[in-house]
A and B are shown apart, each in its own frame.
Chain A
Amino acid sequence: MSRTEDAIRASGSRALIGYLPVGFPDLATSIEAAVAIAEAGCTAIELGVPYSDPGMDGPVIQAATQSTLERGFRLEELFEAVAAITARTSAPVLVMTYWNPVLRYGVDRFAERLAAAGGAGLITPDLTPENGRDWLEAAERHDLDRVFLAAPSSSDARIDAAVAGSRGFVYTVSTMGTTGARNDVDLAARALADRIAARAASAGTEALRCVGLGISTAEQVRDVLTYADGAIVGSALVRALGAGGVPAVRELAASLAAGTLDDGPAFAGTQAADAAPAAGAPAPSTPAPSTGSTHSTEKGASA
């Protein structure tokens, strides 16, 4: 059973997934920050492994992970963090990692340690399903989720492979680019989310689609959730953590989580308006930060 999928469904397919790099700015703070964003309303945590050559990452995440490597980050910290976070929150913890550190560690050994620490699975930005046979077998053995990417440029055949290979959700790449906040999340995201759903349906399955890259505001979260099952926020959270520590990242997560609330008929439409209609009003002003809701499935109740 996929814990990630369960959590997304429990949210009413209105999931907020928060990315933070493990070990940034130090191990203890990164654990506190992950717990804080789960408490503030993240459905799942995406914990990034610092890597020397992060090809998919923009400047904010690069700077954070590079400083983490420079202070001597070791993979042992990852497993420690996963265990500590899962002990304190029910939100599933997915690990986002480039592939070479896993290869070097040993694919099965990595999967075994991750499962033992309570991790839910892996998101693999530079491992496509066709190169992932070892990982898929290990994931099966250790009952872990595996999240592959689909991009606006992906062919139907490649989307089929991502759908077939993924468990948990399909990482729906919103835009052709790297991580980093953008004012407009590409309209391509909506088209891609629809294509993934259609391809999955024609294969007789269903795929949960969480949209990532460029999302940084509650309005964007709300817009994404009109057509996808989850919204992934990374750089904005990393920036908040770097600038204002745990309180700041908690506050931002809470404000983003307001975007997961179903605002009723006024916003139920399917119009492509990402112009953040009135959305701005109810969302960021939520006082949530300090109330620190301790439940990771609250959004599910929002309906």
Chain B
Amino acid sequence: MSASQQSPSLREQHGPWFGAYGGVFMPEPLMAAIDELAECYAECKADPAFQAEFARLSRDYTGRPSLLTDATRLSEQAGARILLKREDLNHTGSHKINNVLGQALVAQRLGKTRLIAETGAGQHGVATATAAALFGMECVVYMGEVDTERQALNVARMRLLGAEVVPVKSGSRTLKDAINEGLRDWVANVDSTHYLMGTVAGPHPFPEMVRDFHRAIGDEAREQTIALTGGLPDAVLACVGGGSNAMGIFHAFLDDADVRLIGLEAAGDGAETARHALSIERGAPGLLHGMRTYLLQDDEGQTLESHSISAGLDYPGVGPEHAWLHDLGRAEYQPVSDTEAMDAFLALTRAEGIIPAIESAHAIAGALRLAKEQPGSTLLVSLSGRGDKDVATAGRWFHLLDEGAQQL
């Protein structure tokens, strides 16, 4: 697929194409804005002043570098050494802030004064609303109506930060429809507005740009792992919805051929059922949201609804770089069901006193499974977010709520 690939380094790959995936499949009215963004980002990437400002914000505002935690009690139970890359400790509670600050700087350079974003679980929406407050920009967040109900606290958080939250009632009323609505807003307001895509998906330059803003996750974790253990991990694991935290942590290890890269997709009710979000494992190449990638679609090219207990993984597509890494065989993608994820959620919480986001619990589940296959190995896990937002869901799942509290 990647015949154009002369260099042996997978880390050098950039958009618009990752093998047969990616590209720019957008309606003509948005092409000028996409071209402008690609051009501006190319400048930013090469500009030391931009990179210095991004590094300063990452350090002073986000709190980078994030910690690497040796999860000794969980490791003991699992039978392998599990290292946690603590993106949950970032300001706003997940890795999403990395990308948001980077794109807000790009938007500022473009002269845009209004940020719009889609959000599923609300983490990206909260991060975008945060950046809008920090940069003094207007902010509108599109969120599927279904998600505004299951993530009501994040809706309040975004509103507190000054953002307008628009519940999206079209289509399946989840993340993919929130993206559609965001793109419609963008067409109509492109002069003032930057569409702040929250994952490594969409048309070029988003997949490359969002990955770049998350590269610190892997760069730091690689150094920290070597410093702590004296070598590279045997495997790196991360959950994959659109795939931004996974691309961020995988990227540093792409050329370390001995390190397995494992993305955990949400299997929802189970890989054997129809209710899942296994875009790579069960999808087929097609077009969605401006990119060619693996997506869940029927035999006539209609996008199918995905299902996951985790709103952040509930997306029928996946970033094109993941599709490429899958076809190359460089990364593996495995299913984790709602039940496995919730078991891992509880296991980590009880063993380490760390409540993970349900998204990140999928990665923990993958590590617990791999530990059984490879006892004694060293497994680096991206703990992409904290679980405060998921306490209500977990409370219901584990029947921890008192009668009167059921409507949380």
For B190, the chain A residues whose CB sits under 8 A away are 153, 176
Q: Is the CB of A101 within 8 A of B300?
A: yes
- A152–B29 Cα distance when bound, in Å, is 7
- A266–B201 Cα distance when bound, in Å, is 54
**Given A75-B300, A100-B297, A176 and B188 touching (CB < 8 A)?**
yes
For A103, the chain B residues whose CB sits under 8 A away are 286-287, 301
- Nearest 8 interchain pairs by C-beta: A104-B301, A101-B301, A151-B29, A153-B32, A149-B28, A100-B301, A177-B188, A52-B303
Task: Pull 26 A–B residue pairs with CB atoms less than 8 Å apart, ordered by A.
Answer: A54-B180, A56-B29, A58-B184, A62-B170, A100-B287, A100-B297, A102-B301, A104-B284, A104-B301, A125-B28, A126-B290, A128-B26, A128-B31, A131-B24, A148-B28, A149-B27, A149-B28, A151-B28, A151-B31, A153-B29, A153-B30, A154-B28, A158-B31, A173-B28, A173-B29, A177-B184
Q: Does B395 contact A (CB under 8 A)?
A: no
Interface residues of B in 167-208 (CB under 8 A from A): 170-171, 176-177, 180, 183-184, 187-190
Q: Measured between C-beta atoms, what is the minimum distance from B293 to chain A in Å?
A: 11
For A177, the chain B residues whose CB sits under 8 A away are 29, 184, 187-188
B contact patch SS:
mixed
Which chain B residue shows the least CB distance to A173? B29
Q: Is the CB of A100 within 8 A of B286?
A: yes
For A55, the chain B residues whose CB sits under 8 A away are 27, 180, 183-184
Chain A interface, number of residues (Cβ within 8 angstroms): 39
Q: Is the CB of B297 within 8 A of A104?
A: yes
Chain B interface, number of residues (Cβ within 8 angstroms): 35
Name, among A105, A125, A178, the residue most crowded by chain B CB atoms within 10 Å (CB to CB). Answer: A178
Q: Is the CB of A128 within 8 A of B28?
A: yes
- A132–B399 Cα distance when bound, in Å, is 54
Q: Measured between C-beta atoms, what is the minimum distance from A269 to chain B in Å?
A: 30
Which chain B residue shows the least CB distance to A57? B184
- A66–B180 Cα distance when bound, in Å, is 14
**Given A53-B180, A100-B287, A178-B187, A105 and B28 touching (CB < 8 A)?**
no
Q: Is the CB of B27 within 8 A of A153?
A: no
For A149, the chain B residues whose CB sits under 8 A away are 27-29
- A128–B27 Cα distance when bound, in Å, is 7
For B264, the chain A residues whose CB sits under 8 A away are none
For B29, the chain A residues whose CB sits under 8 A away are 56, 149, 151-154, 173, 176-177
Q: Does A240 contact B (CB under 8 A)?
A: no
Q: Mark A43-63, 1 if CB is under 8 A from B, else 0.
A: 000000001111110110010
Q: Is the CB of A154 within 8 A of B171?
A: no
Which chain B residue shows the least CB distance to A153? B32
For A195, the chain B residues whose CB sits under 8 A away are none
Q: Is the CB of A104 within 8 A of B188?
A: no
Which chain A residue shows the least CB distance to B183? A55
- A125–B32 Cα distance when bound, in Å, is 15
Q: Does A279 contact B (CB under 8 A)?
A: no
Q: Measured between C-beta atoms, what is the minimum distance from A181 to chain B in Å?
A: 15
From the candidates A66, A99, A105, A151, name the one contacting B300 in the complex (CB within 8 A): A105
**Given A101-B301, A105-B300, A155 and B286 touching (CB < 8 A)?**
no
Q: Is the CB of A74 within 8 A of B300?
A: yes
- A155–B31 Cα distance when bound, in Å, is 9
Q: Is the CB of A126 within 8 A of B33?
A: no
Q: Mark A131-166, 1 if CB is under 8 A from B, else 0.
A: 100000000000000001111111100100010000
For B25, the chain A residues whose CB sits under 8 A away are 99, 126-128, 131
For A173, the chain B residues whose CB sits under 8 A away are 28-29
Having A154-B31, A155-B32, A177-B188, one finds 9 other A-B pairs with CB under 8 Å, namely: A53-B177, A55-B183, A56-B27, A103-B287, A104-B297, A126-B25, A158-B31, A162-B28, A178-B188
Residues of B within 8 A of A (CB): 23-33, 35, 170-171, 176-177, 180, 183-184, 187-190, 284, 286-290, 297, 299-303
- A159–B387 Cα distance when bound, in Å, is 49
For B180, the chain A residues whose CB sits under 8 A away are 53-55
Q: Does A69 contact B (CB under 8 A)?
A: yes
Q: Measured between C-beta atoms, what is the minimum distance from B345 to chain A in Å?
A: 31
Q: Is the CB of B28 within 8 A of A52?
A: no
Q: Is the CB of B287 within 8 A of A126?
A: yes
For A154, the chain B residues whose CB sits under 8 A away are 28-29, 31-32
Q: Measured between C-beta atoms, what is the minimum distance from B317 to chain A in Å?
A: 10
Which chain B residue shows the least CB distance to A177? B188
**Given A53-B288, A149-B27, A154-B32, A176 and B187 touching (CB < 8 A)?**
yes
For A155, the chain B residues whose CB sits under 8 A away are 32, 35
Interface residues of A in 81-124 (CB under 8 A from B): 99-105
From the candidates B188, B289, B299, name the one contacting A53 in the complex (CB within 8 A): B289
For A148, the chain B residues whose CB sits under 8 A away are 28
Q: Measured between C-beta atoms, what is the minimum distance from A75 to chain B in Å?
A: 5
**Given A52-B171, A55-B180, A62-B170, A126 and B27 touching (CB < 8 A)?**
yes
For B187, the chain A residues whose CB sits under 8 A away are 56, 176-178
Q: Measured between C-beta atoms, what is the minimum distance from B366 to chain A in Å?
A: 30
**Given A66-B170, A158-B28, A51 and B302 touching (CB < 8 A)?**
yes
- A161–B23 Cα distance when bound, in Å, is 18
For B28, the chain A residues whose CB sits under 8 A away are 125, 128, 148-151, 154, 158, 162, 173
Q: Is the CB of B288 within 8 A of A100?
A: yes
For A176, the chain B residues whose CB sits under 8 A away are 29, 187-190
Name, among B28, B29, B187, B299, the residue most crowded by chain A CB atoms within 10 Å (CB to CB). Answer: B28
Which chain A residue shows the least CB distance to B295? A100
- A53–B317 Cα distance when bound, in Å, is 12
For B35, the chain A residues whose CB sits under 8 A away are 155
Q: Measured between C-beta atoms, what is the minimum distance from A244 to chain B in Å?
A: 24
Q: Measured between C-beta atoms, what is the minimum distance from A268 to chain B in Å?
A: 31
- A56–B29 Cα distance when bound, in Å, is 9
- A55–B35 Cα distance when bound, in Å, is 18
**Given A101-B301, A162-B28, A178-B184, A131 and B23 touching (CB < 8 A)?**
yes
- A176–B26 Cα distance when bound, in Å, is 14
For A53, the chain B residues whose CB sits under 8 A away are 171, 176-177, 180, 288-289, 303
From the candidates B184, B286, B302, name the one contacting A69 in the complex (CB within 8 A): B302
- A105–B298 Cα distance when bound, in Å, is 11
Which chain A residue shows the least CB distance to B191? A176
Q: Measured between C-beta atoms, what is the minimum distance from B146 to chain A in Å?
A: 15
